[in-house]
Amino acid sequence: MLAVLTKKDRTVLLLAIVATIGAFVTTKIQAGEIIPFVAAAAALSLLAMIVGEATDHLGSKLGPGATGVLQSALGNLPELFVCIFALRAGLVEVVKGALIGSILANSMLVLGVAMLAGGIKNGTQRFGKGSPRMMSTLMLLASAALVVPTLISTLHTPAEKHVQSYSTAVAIVLLIVFGCSLPFFLKRDPELSVTRPPEDTHHAWPLGLSVGLLALSGVGAAFVSEWFVSALEPATKAMGISQAFSGLVVVAIAGNAIENFVGIQLAVANKMDYALSVILNSSLQIALALIPILVLLSMVIGGAALNLVFSPLLVVALILSSLLSAFIVYDGESLWIEGVALIGLYAVIVSAFWWG
């Protein structure tokens, strides 16, 4: 059954196994403060790639609409596990930074790199306007909903005393919006949910292999996430990195490796419609599904409770990223210089969190 795997698939699988074993060994023998963290981060990224690839192949057998929904749900498994263990360890600021950081990384860094790499190779790239506009609009609405709890706390309104209950209510509303969006993704516009171009599906994995690797990588991601979180605090202290920066950059990028890789790869291949679908849809699913789920889970898993009150700078960054990504995709074409500008803005924003 493994014979159907390409050389690249086998290499990633082997590296994931080696990195996972390395993360386990370095964590158990307490091999310093930085080595276990680096090993766990590498293992987490590689496992995320396998989860995404297995989900993609499995979804191709279920139809184009189900593919996108399935990848959105399972592609964020590593980040979900990391955030759960971080909440149980009381690292609330890391979780908040990771969640907003994932949106910023996709909406600015990954989108910027995709536009830069795709533009340099292919020149001006054009894509359909309808799908990106719809995703950008939903992202703006989700961002606005996430900002309100912060305003309540910052402005000291009467609802400030009930911010946890209010965050729970907002989370439920966002999940309802997510549920209502599913028929649109599944039926009305299948293009939004396609993550693999049709001509690339002739090497599809058998169903048993897809399910098996998905299950094994999901279990592996759960264990590695615990080791990653346990090594996170000592490593950041040793490197002089704040919790806010580690969550905003390190955790966010490690937990979204597959979306980062696939989106850029599709842009270089001049499949900008598919690239935008992967990149923008990833941010949207984090805002509408992953964040609300973690708010609700934090009430039952023990450890710190998660609310939707973020730092003012995070809130401003979230709104800026949503507005700029919507503005850039509005005209239906992308230039490499737009990618440079997005990358530059991302660097300016995340550098502000280096000191906390």
Kindly list the structural domains of the chain, giving each domain's residue range(s) and its CATH number in brackets, ordered by start: 2-351 (1.20.1420.30)
Using left for φ > 0, alpha for ψ between -120 and 50, and beta otherwise, residue 242 falls in beta
Q: Residue 127: its pLDDT value, please?
A: 83
In this predicted model, which residue has the larger pLDDT, 154 or 128?
154
Q: Give the distance from CA 136 to its chain's centroid.
A: 16
**Residue 151's pLDDT is what?**
93
The pLDDT tens digits of the residues spanning 173-193 come to: 999 998 888 777 666 454 444
Query: How many CB atoms within 10 Å of residue 33?
Result: 15
Query: Which residues, 6 or more positions from 150, have their beta carbon under 8 angstroms from its beta carbon?
Result: 308, 309, 310, 311, 312, 315
pLDDT for res 64: 46
Measured over all CA atoms, what is the biggest interatomic distance in the chain, rounded to whole angstroms? 63
pLDDT at 258: 60
Residue 195's pLDDT band, with cuts at 50, 70 and 90, is very low
Please give the pLDDT value at position 66.
Answer: 54
Task: Say whether pLDDT at 18 is over 80.
Answer: yes
pLDDT band for position 328 (cuts 50, 70, 90): confident
pLDDT(198) > 70? no
- The per-residue pLDDT for 288 is 92
Q: Report the percentage of the chain scoring pLDDT > 90.
A: 22
